[in-house]
Amino acid sequence: MNKVFINADEAIADVKNGNVLMLGGFGLCGIPENCITALVKKNVRLLTCISNNAGVDDFGIGLMLRQKQVKKMISSYVGENAEFERQLLSGELEVELIPQGTLATRCMAAGYGMPAIFTPAGIGTEVAAGKEIRKFNGKQYLLEYAFDADFAIVKAWKGDTQGNLIYKETARNFNPLMAMAGKITIAEVEELVEAGELDPNNIHTPGIYVHRIFKGDNYQKRIEQRTVRIPQTP
């Protein structure tokens, strides 16, 4: 099976209107920039996007929001995107905010083939509205279903032609979980090598989970919130 694609345009060519997409990344770190650019160019619409965050106004998923391609966002943190806020308050965008640990575990459950999980996160809050609650050892837990995504789109540092992936530092966030969880997983990498060149002990995502891989380019590596310390004057 040839998993290597020429570029992002080719890799996402069969993403359709109404699809459910998982998009890796944490803040602006480790996001699949090339695939997002290709999705914007393709102008596919009515998407449900599962992502820890919604990017910023001019970068990441924010580019798709600006073009009105996203019907629903399932996220944990969305505080840096003014267009997201505008669409939410105007009723243009459906939003499901869930605890970050629940987001991660629902991804993991999908990858493991588990239909659902029980978690204490959200008990006693609006998150629990309309959901099944069960008690284990005297403690209440909330039933949450595994995600069902048509595509998982992730970004790694290195990959090989068989789809094995290595993530670098903070980019090893939601990417490994989502890579396991999509019906079709698309990986963009900064460096693409031949099979056998990666140290098996360092591989984070085995190639069995990855269906398509390509070498990306022009990564911006932005910092969402730059914090500096002013030296103290003696």
Distance (Å) of CA 21 to CA 122, 131, 148, 200: 24, 23, 9, 29
What's residue 224's pLDDT? 67
pTM of the predicted protein model: 0.91
Q: What tokens does 174 get?
A: 């939601």
Going by C-alpha positions, the residue among 151, 147, 126 that lies closest to residue 39 is: 151
Domain limits of the chain? 8-215
Long-range contacts of 101-106 (CB under 8 A, 24+ apart): 102/127, 102/144, 103/50, 103/52, 103/74, 103/75, 103/76, 103/174, 104/174, 104/177, 105/144, 106/144, 106/145, 106/146, 106/147
Averaged pLDDT in 10-residue chunks for the chain of 234 residues: 96 98 91 96 97 89 95 90 91 94 96 96 93 96 97 98 95 95 97 96 97 93 73 70
Cα(128)–Cα(206) distance, integer angstroms: 35
pLDDT in tens, 105-126: 999 999 999 999 999 999 999 9
Q: Are 27 and 155 in contact (CB under 8 A)?
A: no
Cα distance between the two ends of the chain:
65
The CATH code that applies to domain 8-215 is 3.40.1080.10
Helix (H, G, I), strand (E, B) or coil at 176: helix
What's residue 104's pLDDT? 96
Q: Which amino acid is at 190?
A: E
pLDDT in tens, 113-167: 999 999 999 999 999 999 999 999 999 999 999 999 999 999 999 999 999 999 9
Distance (Å) of CA 29 to CA 156, 174, 179, 222: 11, 10, 16, 7
Q: Are 224 and 27 in contact (CB under 8 A)?
A: yes
